Amino acid sequence: MNTSKVKSRQKAALATPNRLGDNAANDISAALSALLADVFALYMKTKNFHWHMSGPHFRDYHLLLDEQAEQIFAMTDDMAERARKLGGTTLRSIGHIARLQRLADNDAEFVTAPDMLAELRDDNMQLLTFLRETHDLCDEHGDVGTASLLENWIDEAERRVWFLFESGRHQES
């Protein structure tokens, strides 16, 4: 095999064919990468709170957050692959995630269960804003494929917000 030919292919620009155009591919894949960074940050925070949950509702909250973390993580591959299908690139490292994420981490030694639920609710609401902004960008460029994926993720995030809100409400005796 000709090594110079192989090296030249390795250095070649990505030229994934798409009908959206270079501007759309660049804009949408960049938005998806930022969104993906936020999804990884939310996944990690959800797992963090799942692992560190305590209190009288431990079992219910522990299971709820595990279920939500699985749902959040399930978005990552489709999100990254969509950016690639459009001809863009996506995240490459934890450092890349840290540079792009807009959701704040929580490294506190202890967080109460109600505060965990409230923080995750607010983060999911913020993620909803980012998902809708990306959907608007897709609409501008006529990218119905990405918009369709985003609509499902928006519905899932709305459900997480609802569950976190209802779980965090104080019960009146």
- pLDDT at site 45: 98
Contacts of 138 (CB under 8 A, 6+ apart): 28, 144, 146, 147, 150
Query: d(Cα 113, Cα 111) in Å, to the nearest integer?
Result: 7
Q: Please give the C-alpha separations between residue 14 and each of 31, 143, 169, in angstroms, as whole numbers.
A: 18, 19, 49
Does position 172 have pLDDT exceeding 50, yes or no? no
Determine the Cα–Cα distance for residues 137 and 135; give it in Å rounded to an integer: 5
- Residue 114: name the closest of 173, 41, 55 by CA: 55
C-alpha distances in Å from residue 149, one per residue of 2, 80, 132: 41, 12, 11
pLDDT digits (tens, 9 = 90+) for 82-114: 999 999 999 999 999 999 999 999 999 999 999
User: Do 42 and 103 meet the contact criterion of CB atoms below 8 Å apart?
Assistant: yes
pLDDT value at 14 more than 70 = no
* pTM beyond 0.85, yes or no: yes
How far apart are alpha carbons 142 and 145 in whole angstroms? Answer: 9
Task: Tell me how far CA of residue 133 lies from CA of 99, 120, 138, in angstroms.
Answer: 19, 20, 9
88 or 171, which is more confident: 88
- SS3 of residue 12 by DSSP: coil
DSSP state for residue 142 in the 8-state scheme: T
Q: What is the pLDDT of residues 29-77, one digit of tens each?
A: 999 999 999 999 999 999 999 999 999 999 999 999 999 999 999 999 9
Is 10's pLDDT higher than 90? Answer: no
Least confident segment among 4-18, 36-50, 122-136: 4-18
Residue 171: what pLDDT?
52
pLDDT in tens, 140-167: 999 999 999 999 999 999 999 999 999 9
Residue 19: pLDDT band (50, 70, 90) is: confident
Domains of the chain, earliest start first: 20-168 (1.20.1260.10)
Band (pLDDT 50/70/90 cuts) for residue 129 is very high
pLDDT at 173 over 50: no
* The token pair that represents 29 in the structure block: 């894949």
Strands (DSSP E) contained in 24-165 are none
